[in-house]
Chains A and B, each alone.
Chain A
Amino acid sequence: MSAEAQRPPFWRDVRVLGWFFQLAVFAIVVAIVGILVNNVRVNSANQGIPTGFSFLDQPSSFEIPGNDFRQSQPVRDALVEGVFNTLRVVVAGLVLATLLGVTLGVGRLSGNFLIRTITRVYVETIRNIPLLGLLIFFYIGLVLTAFPRVEDSWIVGSLLVANVRGVTIPWITGSTIAFLVVVAIAAGLAWAVNRWRLQVNERSGEPARGGLWAIPVLVLVGFWGAFFVGNGITTPELDGRSLEGGMTMQPEYFALLLALVIYTSSHIAEIVRGSIQAVPKGQVEAASALALSSWHRLRHVVLPQALRIAVPPIGNQYLNLMKNSSLGFVISYFEITKVTQTTVGNRSPAVPAFLLLIVIYLVLSLIISAGVNVVNRRLQVVER
């Protein structure tokens, strides 16, 4: 008797059947894609439209408002400009939506009835309205209809000036790169000081108070460093009909940013609330039983666990915000979708242009996912 079983006939062999099944699925998918690709080839050839990416080098023959982009520059440059505009709104949106969302989420759990109720009304209203509706409301209803002429601008001290030309806020002057470098150095020093305080705490048991030490370091080093490399602050000043200083956001940019931040923050707030509530009650009780103060309970017991629950869904919201920035096309904010649509309207071939657009979004998605994953992994490690 041989030690191995005989192979069954191939039409009853699980392995053969498995491969056959996979091959069949693969063939069907290839066939569908092949038919589509072939149709594109045939239809493009019939209409004399190129299918390659040579259109990238053609002159764009359109202008991008609020920018010195010229019609003679190639489509490639227009797309780069579009990606840049997308990033501008996405990065600002991510930061602001996170700040607002976390604040609102914590507010949902406040002991104060008014705060609890107001944040709840906000969240449950905004979450259930289409983002596009919010965007059109802010753009047509607010910016285009309600914003005053320049001479009648709405002014909030030196902090904010709003009129039909846009919204102006204080900004830094001098080299942005130098400023970022200074901020990075300051943050690094603050981090080091925090580490040092933790070590002191470990050695001597003296309270670490990392934040108490690190934040002044961050502020002082950042402030003086920026001063040293020649950064300053410019505030918007209205003088009759002319507005000087500050940084002006175009109306379209402002409306899109506002809509994205308001909408996304309502979703983040729900995630934050849910994550904090998802930490089992027993955890807080155990911490209280160890006589931890309410701050220590929050800082060392509740938040680390809530954060771990919250990070993946918040990452999803970041992806949504990035993708939702494509709504800018509706109000003619020249982010990448609007640029692509415009260039297709200007005789660029539609299929390659839109495929490129989708690839760009996939790359941006991957970048955000990678960032979220790094944070996620760190949290998991810290947890163990």
Chain B
Amino acid sequence: MSRSERVTDWLKANLFRSTADSIVSVVVGAIALFVLFRIVRFVFVTGRWEIVETNLSLYVTGAWPDAEMWRLVATVLLAAFVSGLIAGFIARSREIEAGVEAVSLSPRARIIELVVRLWPLLLGLALVLALTRTVMPVLLVVSAAVAVVLGRMLGRLLPRRSPPWLAALAVVTLLGVVWLMANGVGLESWGGMLLNIFLAAFSITLCFPLGVMLALGRRSKYPVVRLLSVGYIELFRGAPLIALLLMVDVAIGFFLPQSIVPSSPVRAIIVFILFTAAYMAEVVRGGLQSVPGGQVEAAKALGLSPISTTFRIVLPQALRNVIPAIVGQSISLFKDTTLAGAAMGLADLLNSAQASTAQEQFRGQGLIVESLVFVLFLFWVGAYTMSRESQRLERRLGVGNR
């Protein structure tokens, strides 16, 4: 079949199947073209992007002082290396379990694969880098990429019994990184996308033990434990996050002794942890339900204690099944961190966008559209990348096939 024949066939099958279909295609196509034209014109012609260019560092890192920038650089590199390590380890374990060897791709195919897989992230990075005026950010991104690759190569060499160590390493890295950064710049002065990412990453990690506990409690054979867990879960799932944030912001001074009332970011983290734990519990419960009852019986019959049964047999299988759902939860939390900005006045990414339109040189020019579009684009890059990766993970783990 010739190329033109194939094109015609495709058009017939996808756009002009019948008269009605053709009319729809033409009308919708015209409208879509018009909208697309307006968007392209806004992005390249009418949009006044100076506000974004000027405030880029405010959006990304908040009011982070230049003198302390090395802390951020170290953080990015460390995080890149550790995530590479974990990714490499997971990839290798999968190959071993499936009994296949690594597919070796040509460099070109490898790059194409990465671009197709990570295009939202690459697009976002490219845009941010295009808007910067120094070479440092480019260098940082390149070295972070190198760190990921190095980590990945090392991760493939790790012994197979590493998961507990890797999980511990991830948590220690997170805490260490927070310590490293907070030591230079107080938590109260963090801002921009940095704050959103930090709030989400920190809360999702710390909510995990509580969430797992609640999930186990909800499936406990003891009625009192079950009831308390259900009560907690339903209470926090029934109330809106914003109401909880407002309440804690105003009322935490009443719940705690006056001497230990924490600062706003810490309050936000407390609420996020308590709130997300309830949702995490439901996610983990789904995983627990996916583990066949025979697994527990076999463990009991071997004489394993209830604790060994839970931690060696049930949870490893349950959590593996819900990794994609946990990523989904992280996406929600990442988006919800904006609420801390609204309820507690933190200088997060969304608030920075609004604040930048009040600067003297941009005031009263209706630039909120430009700044919001850019900032929402950054959120979209983060959330969409995570969501694509979780779908990929879901396919590769073959959740549901097991």
Contacts and interface: CB of A to CB of B under 8 A. Distances in A.
| Direct A–B contact in the complex, CB atoms closer than 8 angstroms | yes
B25 A43 contact: no
B235 to A, nearest CB: 7
Interface string A110-129: 01111100100000110111
Contacts of A133: 338, 350, 372, 375-376, 379
Interface stretch (B40-48, B68-76, B78-86, B239-247): B239-247
B246 A25 contact: no
Contacts of B368: 140-141, 145
B350 A128 contact: no
B225 A358 contact: no
Contacts of A287: none
Contacts of A160: none
Contacts of B241: 323
B350 A132 contact: yes
Contacts of A43: 253-254, 257-258
Nearest to B239: A358
Contact of A323 (B14, B240, B375): B240
A145 B224 CA distance: 55
A354 B379 contact: no
A131 interface: yes
Interface string B313-336: 000000000000000000100011
Contacts of B13: 111
Contacts of B243: 326, 337, 340, 354, 357-358, 361
A130 B338 contact: yes
B228 A128 contact: no
Contacts of A113: 14-15, 25
Nearest to B224: A22
Contacts of A375: none
Interface string A11-23: 0000000100111
B383 A128 contact: yes
Interface string B205-236: 00000000000000001111100100000110
Given A21-B222, A25-B225, A354-B250, A128 B25 contact: no
B342 A114 contact: no
Which of B223, B228, B243, B341 has most A Cβ within 10 Å? B243
Nearest to A117: B32
11 contacts: A25-B225, A39-B254, A43-B254, A111-B13, A111-B21, A118-B28, A129-B380, A130-B335, A341-B246, A350-B254, A358-B243
A324 B250 contact: no
B346 to A, nearest CB: 13
A85 to B, nearest CB: 15
A29 interface: yes
B242 to A, nearest CB: 5
A136 interface: yes
A303 interface: no
A39 B242 contact: no
B255 interface: yes
Contact of B32 (A114, A344, A366): A114
Contacts of B373: 137
B238 interface: yes
Contact of B246 (A125, A128, A323, A354): A354
A145 B240 contact: no
B300 interface: no
Interface string A331-342: 000000100110
A134 B375 CA distance: 11
B347 to A, nearest CB: 15
Interface string A249-288: 0000000000000000000000000000000000000000
Nearest to B35: A118
Contact of A329 (B25, B246, B254): B246
What is the interface residue range for chain B against chain A?
A: 35 or more
B15 to A, nearest CB: 5
A189 interface: no
Interface of A: 18, 21-23, 25-26, 29, 36, 39-40, 43-44, 111-115, 118, 124-125, 127-134, 136-137, 140-141, 145, 319, 323-327, 329-330, 337, 340-341, 344, 350-351, 354-355, 357-358, 361-362, 365-366
A136 B244 CA distance: 20
A141 B376 CA distance: 13
Nearest to A137: B372
A21 B225 CA distance: 9
A354 B252 CA distance: 11
B370 to A, nearest CB: 9
Contact of A358 (B24, B247, B258): B247
B239 A361 contact: yes
A362 to B, nearest CB: 4
A112 B225 contact: no
Contacts of A329: 242, 246, 342
A195 B258 CA distance: 67
A136 B350 contact: yes
Interface of B: 13-15, 17, 21, 24-25, 28-29, 32, 221-225, 228, 234-235, 237-244, 246-247, 250-251, 253-258, 331, 335-336, 338-339, 341-342, 350, 354, 366, 368-369, 372-373, 375-376, 379-380, 383-384, 387
B365 to A, nearest CB: 10
Which of A125, A131, A327 has most B Cβ within 10 Å? A327
A114 B234 CA distance: 42
A136 B338 CA distance: 11
B14 A112 contact: yes
A23 B17 CA distance: 69
B369 A141 contact: yes
A341 B384 CA distance: 33
B24 A40 contact: no
Nearest to A46: B258
Given A114-B28, A128-B387, A351 B251 contact: yes
A168 to B, nearest CB: 24
Contacts of B238: 319, 323, 358, 361-362, 365-366
A365 B237 CA distance: 9
A166 B187 CA distance: 41
B239 A362 contact: yes
Nearest to B253: A43
Contacts of B338: 130, 132-133
A340 B29 CA distance: 47
A30 B21 CA distance: 65
B61 to A, nearest CB: 19
Contacts of B336: 130
A40 B246 contact: no
Contact of B350 (A111, A125, A130): A130
A126 B193 CA distance: 19
Nearest to B217: A25
Contact of A29 (B228, B239, B366, B384): B228
A344 B8 CA distance: 66
A130 B221 CA distance: 39
A357 B246 CA distance: 11
